[in-house]
């Protein structure tokens, strides 16, 4: 990127997405992009299909630009931004030469981002992409009056279990009533707390994380390890 535009400001957001985990990358991008100023270019590369027939794309939504593989990685952020227009990256003049079949992050996505920062319009990069691939995030299920069931969709590096249950889903089922119990892996955690520090020492608890999704956390430890939980583990609220 700097070889195309030496005046760029680069923010290296995250490198601890688990290898090949497109959903975790999509969640990280969704959580972060809105805190950057308009006209930011977001380059995202979790790309197990690099060099295959998967498309390389760039998109524009809500004043932000996104560059990455068309494997669902951009879909949550674009959805949160209200959708936008996208193009297929097919103009080799904007790539590094030669292009490695195994490193499009370096040879395609990074130089394209550099050219976008210099004002190259999306339309010059390739044809309209049409619909992009999306990652699947299940919606939590209403089980009855003031009962809701969700599941773990990500485990962060602290071992916190991030679920698909957000504030909107809770309000839709519970209204003005409080959640009295969160259950996971056969454990009752009681009502959600406000902070990690409010969880009893050596204990487990639930709380609303910084992305607005319900998390299960261990005080000074890993909830994933203590509960032997992972993506797909069920979480019930009542």
Q: How far apart are CA 57 and CA 109, in angstroms?
A: 9
Label residue 167 by pLDDT band (50, 70, 90).
Answer: very high
- Tell which residue, 25, 78, 14, 21, has the closest CA to residue 48: 21
Q: How far apart are CA 209 and CA 153, in angstroms?
A: 13
Going by their DSSP bridges, the two strands 187-188 and 204-208 should be labelled as unpaired
Going by their DSSP bridges, the two strands 213-218 and 204-208 should be labelled as antiparallel
Domain 141-237, CATH: 2.40.30.90
Give the mean pLDDT of the chain.
96
Alpha carbon dihedral 134, 140, 142, 145, in 10-degree steps, equals: -140
CB 84 within 8 A of CB 62: yes
- Whether 16 shows a pLDDT value over 90: the answer reads no
CA distances (Å), origin 92, targets 7, 111, 141: 23, 10, 46
Q: Which residue has the tokens 């707390």?
A: 193
- CATH class of the structural domain 22-124: alpha beta
**DSSP per residue, the chain:** -TTT-TT---------SPTT-HHHHHHHHHHHGGGSPTT-EEE----TTTTSSPPEEEEEETTEEEEEESSSTTHHHHHHTT--EEEE---GGGS-SSPPTT-HIIIIIHHHHHHHHTT--GGGT-SB--SPP----PPPEEEETTEEEEEEEEE-TT--EEEEEEHHHHHHHHTTSPP--EEETTEE--S-BSSGGGSPTT-EEEEE-TTSEEEEEETTB-HHHHHT--TT-EEEE-
- Whether 213 shows a pLDDT value over 90: the answer reads yes
Domain boundary assignment for the chain: 22-124, 141-237
pLDDT tens, 45-91? 999 999 999 999 999 999 999 999 999 999 999 999 998 999 999 99
pLDDT tens, 173-186? 999 999 999 999 99
pLDDT tens, 131-156? 999 998 999 999 989 999 999 999 99
Q: How far apart are CA 219 and CA 193, in angstroms?
A: 12
């Amino acid at each position: 990127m700097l070889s195309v535009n030496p005046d760029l400001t680069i923010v290296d957001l995250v490198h601890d997405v688990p290898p090949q985990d497109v959903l975790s990358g999509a969640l990280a991008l969704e959580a972060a992009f809105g805190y950057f100023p308009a006209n930011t270019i977001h380059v995202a590369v979790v790309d197990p299909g690099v060099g295959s027939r998967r498309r390389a794309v760039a998109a524009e939504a809500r004043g932000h630009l996104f560059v990455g593989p068309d494997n669902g990685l951009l879909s949550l952020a674009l959805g949160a931004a209200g959708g936008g227009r996208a193009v297929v990256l097919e103009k080799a003049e904007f790539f590094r030469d030669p292009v490695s079949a195994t490193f499009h992050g370096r040879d395609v996505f990074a130089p394209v981002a550099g050219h976008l920062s210099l004002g190259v319009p999306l339309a010059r990069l390739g044809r309209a992409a049409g619909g992009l691939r999306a990652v699947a995030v299940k919606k939590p299920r209403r089980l009855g009056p003031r009962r809701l069931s969700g599941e773990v969709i990500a485990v962060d590096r602290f071992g916190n279990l991030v679920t698909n249950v957000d504030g909107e889903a809770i309000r839709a089922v519970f209204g003005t009533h409080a959640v009295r119990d969160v259950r996971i892996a056969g454990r009752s955690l009681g009502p959600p707390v406000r902070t990690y520090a409010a969880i009893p020492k050596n204990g487990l608890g639930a709380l609303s994380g910084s992305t607005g999704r319900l998390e299960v956390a261990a005080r000074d430890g890993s909830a994933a390890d203590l509960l032997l939980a992972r993506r797909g583990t069920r979480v019930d609220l009542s």
